[in-house]
Amino acid sequence: MNRHVLSILVNNQPSVLSRVVGLFSRRGYNISSLSVGVTEVEDKSRITIVVFCDDLECVQIMKQVEKLVDVIRIVELSQDRGVFRELALIKVNAPAEKRSEIISIVDIYRASIIDVATEALTIEITGNSRKIETFADLMEPYGVKEIVRTGITGLCRGNNAIKHIKENSY
Protein backbone atom coordinates (compact mmCIF):
# COMPACT_ATOMS: atom_id res chain seq x y z
CA MET A 1 0.00 0.00 0.00
CA ASN A 2 1.20 3.49 -0.85
CA ARG A 3 0.59 6.87 0.69
CA HIS A 4 -1.72 9.08 -1.37
CA VAL A 5 -2.29 12.77 -0.65
CA LEU A 6 -5.59 13.88 -2.18
CA SER A 7 -6.48 17.54 -2.54
CA ILE A 8 -10.19 18.12 -3.02
CA LEU A 9 -11.75 21.49 -3.91
CA VAL A 10 -15.39 21.64 -2.78
CA ASN A 11 -18.22 24.10 -2.38
CA ASN A 12 -18.28 25.30 1.21
CA GLN A 13 -21.64 23.76 2.14
CA PRO A 14 -22.93 21.91 5.20
CA SER A 15 -22.37 18.12 5.12
CA VAL A 16 -19.88 18.13 2.20
CA LEU A 17 -17.08 16.95 4.47
CA SER A 18 -19.34 14.25 5.90
CA ARG A 19 -20.17 12.94 2.42
CA VAL A 20 -16.53 12.87 1.34
CA VAL A 21 -15.30 11.16 4.52
CA GLY A 22 -18.27 8.78 4.43
CA LEU A 23 -17.23 7.59 1.00
CA PHE A 24 -13.84 6.57 2.37
CA SER A 25 -15.28 4.81 5.42
CA ARG A 26 -17.92 2.94 3.40
CA ARG A 27 -15.13 1.46 1.31
CA GLY A 28 -13.11 0.50 4.38
CA TYR A 29 -10.26 3.01 3.97
CA ASN A 30 -8.72 4.56 7.04
CA ILE A 31 -7.92 8.25 6.65
CA SER A 32 -4.54 8.82 8.29
CA SER A 33 -4.68 12.63 8.01
CA LEU A 34 -7.47 15.10 7.32
CA SER A 35 -7.16 18.86 6.94
CA VAL A 36 -9.97 21.20 5.89
CA GLY A 37 -10.19 24.95 5.47
CA VAL A 38 -11.72 27.78 3.49
CA THR A 39 -9.73 28.86 0.43
CA GLU A 40 -9.03 32.28 -1.08
CA VAL A 41 -12.63 32.17 -2.32
CA GLU A 42 -15.02 32.28 0.64
CA ASP A 43 -17.56 29.82 -0.75
CA LYS A 44 -14.90 27.15 -1.56
CA SER A 45 -13.04 24.84 0.82
CA ARG A 46 -10.10 22.54 0.35
CA ILE A 47 -9.98 19.09 1.90
CA THR A 48 -6.59 17.39 2.11
CA ILE A 49 -6.81 13.67 2.83
CA VAL A 50 -3.93 11.25 3.32
CA VAL A 51 -4.87 7.61 2.77
CA PHE A 52 -2.84 4.42 2.40
CA CYS A 53 -4.09 2.15 -0.38
CA ASP A 54 -3.06 0.54 -3.65
CA ASP A 55 -2.68 2.81 -6.67
CA LEU A 56 -5.63 1.26 -8.50
CA GLU A 57 -7.84 1.64 -5.41
CA CYS A 58 -6.84 5.30 -5.19
CA VAL A 59 -7.90 5.89 -8.79
CA GLN A 60 -11.27 4.28 -8.08
CA ILE A 61 -11.91 6.28 -4.93
CA MET A 62 -10.91 9.52 -6.69
CA LYS A 63 -13.45 8.80 -9.43
CA GLN A 64 -16.14 8.20 -6.79
CA VAL A 65 -15.26 11.39 -4.87
CA GLU A 66 -15.37 13.40 -8.09
CA LYS A 67 -18.99 12.29 -8.64
CA LEU A 68 -20.15 13.71 -5.31
CA VAL A 69 -22.33 16.82 -5.33
CA ASP A 70 -20.33 19.95 -4.39
CA VAL A 71 -16.96 18.41 -5.34
CA ILE A 72 -15.35 20.71 -7.90
CA ARG A 73 -12.06 18.93 -8.47
CA ILE A 74 -9.81 16.29 -6.95
CA VAL A 75 -6.09 15.83 -7.62
CA GLU A 76 -3.43 13.63 -6.13
CA LEU A 77 -0.43 15.57 -4.92
CA SER A 78 2.68 13.46 -5.41
CA GLN A 79 6.02 14.35 -3.82
CA ASP A 80 7.24 15.98 -7.04
CA ARG A 81 3.91 17.67 -7.81
CA GLY A 82 3.07 19.18 -4.43
CA VAL A 83 4.39 20.99 -1.38
CA PHE A 84 3.29 19.74 2.02
CA ARG A 85 3.33 21.07 5.56
CA GLU A 86 1.98 20.15 8.95
CA LEU A 87 1.73 22.14 12.17
CA ALA A 88 2.18 20.74 15.66
CA LEU A 89 1.82 22.25 19.12
CA ILE A 90 3.90 20.45 21.75
CA LYS A 91 3.71 21.15 25.47
CA VAL A 92 6.90 20.09 27.25
CA ASN A 93 7.95 19.96 30.90
CA ALA A 94 10.51 22.73 31.24
CA PRO A 95 11.96 23.25 34.71
CA ALA A 96 14.31 26.24 34.95
CA GLU A 97 17.48 24.11 34.78
CA LYS A 98 16.41 22.50 31.45
CA ARG A 99 14.95 25.51 29.64
CA SER A 100 18.14 26.60 27.89
CA GLU A 101 18.58 23.08 26.44
CA ILE A 102 15.01 23.05 25.18
CA ILE A 103 15.31 26.56 23.72
CA SER A 104 18.48 25.51 21.85
CA ILE A 105 16.65 22.60 20.22
CA VAL A 106 13.68 24.86 19.41
CA ASP A 107 16.04 27.30 17.66
CA ILE A 108 17.77 24.56 15.65
CA TYR A 109 14.39 23.34 14.36
CA ARG A 110 13.17 26.90 13.63
CA ALA A 111 10.22 26.31 15.93
CA SER A 112 8.64 28.95 18.18
CA ILE A 113 7.81 29.07 21.85
CA ILE A 114 4.25 30.36 21.98
CA ASP A 115 3.45 29.96 25.68
CA VAL A 116 5.57 29.98 28.82
CA ALA A 117 4.38 28.63 32.17
CA THR A 118 6.28 28.08 35.41
CA GLU A 119 7.05 24.44 34.59
CA ALA A 120 6.19 24.07 30.90
CA LEU A 121 6.74 25.50 27.42
CA THR A 122 4.35 25.23 24.50
CA ILE A 123 6.18 25.00 21.19
CA GLU A 124 4.85 25.51 17.67
CA ILE A 125 6.62 23.69 14.85
CA THR A 126 5.81 23.61 11.15
CA GLY A 127 7.29 21.35 8.51
CA ASN A 128 7.05 17.93 6.98
CA SER A 129 5.94 14.98 9.07
CA ARG A 130 9.46 13.63 9.53
CA LYS A 131 10.70 16.96 10.95
CA ILE A 132 7.83 17.07 13.43
CA GLU A 133 8.32 13.46 14.51
CA THR A 134 12.07 13.97 14.97
CA PHE A 135 11.50 17.10 17.03
CA ALA A 136 8.89 15.34 19.20
CA ASP A 137 11.35 12.49 19.78
CA LEU A 138 13.97 14.99 20.96
CA MET A 139 11.45 16.49 23.39
CA GLU A 140 10.55 13.09 24.94
CA PRO A 141 13.40 13.08 27.51
CA TYR A 142 12.11 16.39 28.91
CA GLY A 143 8.60 15.00 29.31
CA VAL A 144 5.99 15.75 26.66
CA LYS A 145 2.71 16.72 28.32
CA GLU A 146 0.61 17.08 25.16
CA ILE A 147 0.92 17.03 21.38
CA VAL A 148 -1.64 18.12 18.82
CA ARG A 149 -1.04 17.98 15.07
CA THR A 150 -3.02 19.51 12.23
CA GLY A 151 -2.48 16.81 9.65
CA ILE A 152 -0.87 17.33 6.27
CA THR A 153 -1.99 20.13 4.02
CA GLY A 154 -0.61 20.79 0.57
CA LEU A 155 -0.72 22.71 -2.69
CA CYS A 156 0.34 22.07 -6.26
CA ARG A 157 3.87 23.25 -7.01
CA GLY A 158 4.61 26.16 -9.31
CA ASN A 159 2.00 28.20 -11.15
CA ASN A 160 -0.69 25.50 -11.15
CA ALA A 161 -3.73 25.90 -8.93
CA ILE A 162 -6.24 23.11 -8.34
CA LYS A 163 -9.03 25.13 -9.94
CA HIS A 164 -7.01 25.53 -13.16
CA ILE A 165 -5.77 21.97 -13.65
CA LYS A 166 -7.58 20.60 -16.70
CA GLU A 167 -6.14 17.12 -17.12
CA ASN A 168 -7.15 14.19 -14.96
CA SER A 169 -4.43 13.53 -12.42
CA TYR A 170 -5.37 9.88 -12.02
CATH number at residue 95: 3.30.70.1150
Residue 95 domain-assigned? Answer: yes
Q: Are 130 and 68 in contact (CB under 8 A)?
A: no
pLDDT of 25-35, one tens digit each?
898 888 999 99
Which residues constitute the domain of residue 66?
2-76
One-letter amino acid of 50 = V
Are residues 71 and 48 part of one domain? yes
pLDDT band at 103 (very low <50, low <70, confident <90, very high): very high
**Across residues 129-139, what is the average pLDDT?**
96
For the cut 50, the answer to whether the pLDDT of residue 169 exceeds it is no
Are residues 127 and 106 part of one domain? yes
Are residues 106 and 71 part of one domain? no
Q: What are the residues whose beta carbons fall under 8 Å from the beta carbon of 151, sequence distance 6 or more?
A: 33, 34, 35, 48, 50, 86
Are residues 95 and 60 part of one domain? no
Last residue of a domain, one of 47, 76, 105: 76
Q: Are 120 and 92 in contact (CB under 8 A)?
A: yes
**pTM for this prediction:** 0.82
**Across residues 125-131, what is the average pLDDT?**
95
Are residues 71 and 12 part of one domain? yes
pLDDT of 6-48, one tens digit each?
999 999 999 999 999 999 989 888 899 999 999 998 899 999 9
Q: Are 6 and 65 in contact (CB under 8 A)?
A: yes
The span from the CA of 13 to the CA of 43, in Å, is 8
Are residues 98 and 59 part of one domain? no
